[in-house]
């Protein structure tokens, strides 16, 4: 039977590339977005009850997940003096609370399945080193790293691995407003990453071959840090 994998934020960008790669490798991929018509599931990851209802219904109908890629996320940047409470709350509620909201209904069924499991969270270079204008986003993405490391310890004896991918600057809608040439100068490889490059790493971490890698933050950033 095909292994079921949920990819959040799979309508575009990094999530879509990961979903396509995993599907190509024979996984039964369940795609998600907040509002895009083409995905299997649609809910706001900041809405705990919506996450619970949609995920529990999918698991009840189709069985537990072997893997999940927590990819959906937002940025809402501003220099700290101008960063509004609303910007802080929206990014923390979505990017950090989303980790809990999506995983909570998934983990117990995954444990009960008594097979291997894979949890991959997409953090960011901003969560590893911090980034100007992204105090809210950096806090949320650093929080995800802490959560992943703790959960990895809890789930290790169940053969469920929990890891973070920390991308640098990847060509997606999220970076469309940044000063591209300026930013490239700070990247040793002098280019942005491609979604497919992140997808390759996610596919490896999802594989049975990666069963001894857990509690790690793996960067993919062209040497940015
Ligand atoms: P993107 O192109 O902006 O796509 C975002 C995805 O997340 C979409 O599928 C979107 O669904 C979904 N989404 C947004 N808000 C949501 C919400 N409240 N609830 C549920 N789904 C929501 O983003 P991306 O650049 O591919 O980034 C993907 C992940 O990588 C994010 O976690 C981001 O922080 C991280 N990341 C990106 C970069 C980069 O340079 N691009 C670097 C480091 C880390 P809809 O299509 O329905 O809106």
- Taking the CA of residue 95 as reference, the ligand 1 atom at the shortest distance is 32
CB burial of 87-107 (b: ≥16 within 10 Å; e: otherwise) equals: bbeebbbbbbbbbebbbebbb
- Taking the CA of residue 193 as reference, the ligand 1 atom at the shortest distance is 40
Ligand 1 centroid from CA 173, angstroms: 8
Active site residues: 137
pLDDT tens, position by position, 86-120: 999 999 999 999 999 999 999 999 999 989 999 99
Mean pLDDT of 218-222: 98
Mean pLDDT of the chain: 97
Residues having CB within 6 Å of any atom of ligand 1: 9-15, 33-36, 44-46, 71-74, 94, 122, 124, 167, 169-170, 172-175
Mean pLDDT of 58-64: 98
Task: Report CA torsion sign: 83, 129, 12, 110.
Answer: negative
Task: Report CA torsion sign: 86, 50, 71, 40.
Answer: negative
Report residue 210 as tokens.
Answer: 């990666």
Provide the percentage of residues in the chain whose pLDDT is more than 70: 100
Burial of 68 (0-12, 13-18, 19+ CB in 10 A): buried
Choose one of 9, 48, 130, 198 to mutate for the ligand 1 pocket test, by most ligand atoms within 8 angstroms of C-beta: 9
Asked whether the predicted pLDDT for residue 81 surpasses 90, the reply is: yes
Q: What pLDDT does 225 receive?
A: 80
Whether this model's pTM surpasses 0.85: yes
Q: Tell me the pLDDT band of 54, cut-offs 50, 70 and 90.
A: very high
Provide the percentage of residues in the chain whose pLDDT is more than 90: 98
Mean pLDDT of 23-36: 98
Mean pLDDT of 61-70: 98
pLDDT tens, position by position, 180-198: 999 999 999 999 999 999 9
pLDDT tens, position by position, 199-209: 999 999 999 99
Q: What CA–CA distance (Å, rounded) separates 31 from 33?
A: 7
Tell me how long the chain is: 225
């Amino acid at each position: 039977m095909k292994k079921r994998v949920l990819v959040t934020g799979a309508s575009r960008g990094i999530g879509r590339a990961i979903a396509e790669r995993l599907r190509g490798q024979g996984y039964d991929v369940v795609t998600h977005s907040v509002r895009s018509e083409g995905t299997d599931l649609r809910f706001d990851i900041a809405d705990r009850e919506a996450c619970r209802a949609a995920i529990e219904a999918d698991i009840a109908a189709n069985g537990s997940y072997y893997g999940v890629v927590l990819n959906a996320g937002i940025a809402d940047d501003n220099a700290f003096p101008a960063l509004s409470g609303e910007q802080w709350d929206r990014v923390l509620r979505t990017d950090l609370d989303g980790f809990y909201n999506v995983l909570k209904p998934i983990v117990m069924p995954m444990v009960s399945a008594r097979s291997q499991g894979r949890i991959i969270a997409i953090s960011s270079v901003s969560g590893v080193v911090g980034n100007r204008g992204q105090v809210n986003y950096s806090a949320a993405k650093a929080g995800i790293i802490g959560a992943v490391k703790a959960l990895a310890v809890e789930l290790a004896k169940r053969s469920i691995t929990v890891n973070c991918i920390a991308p640098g600057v990847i060509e997606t809608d999220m970076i469309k407003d940044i000063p591209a040439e300026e930013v490239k100068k700070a990247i040793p490889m002098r280019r942005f990453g491609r979604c497919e490059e992140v997808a390759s790493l996610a596919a490896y971490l999802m594989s049975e071959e990666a069963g001894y890698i857990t509690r790690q933050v793996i960067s993919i950033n062209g040497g940015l840090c």
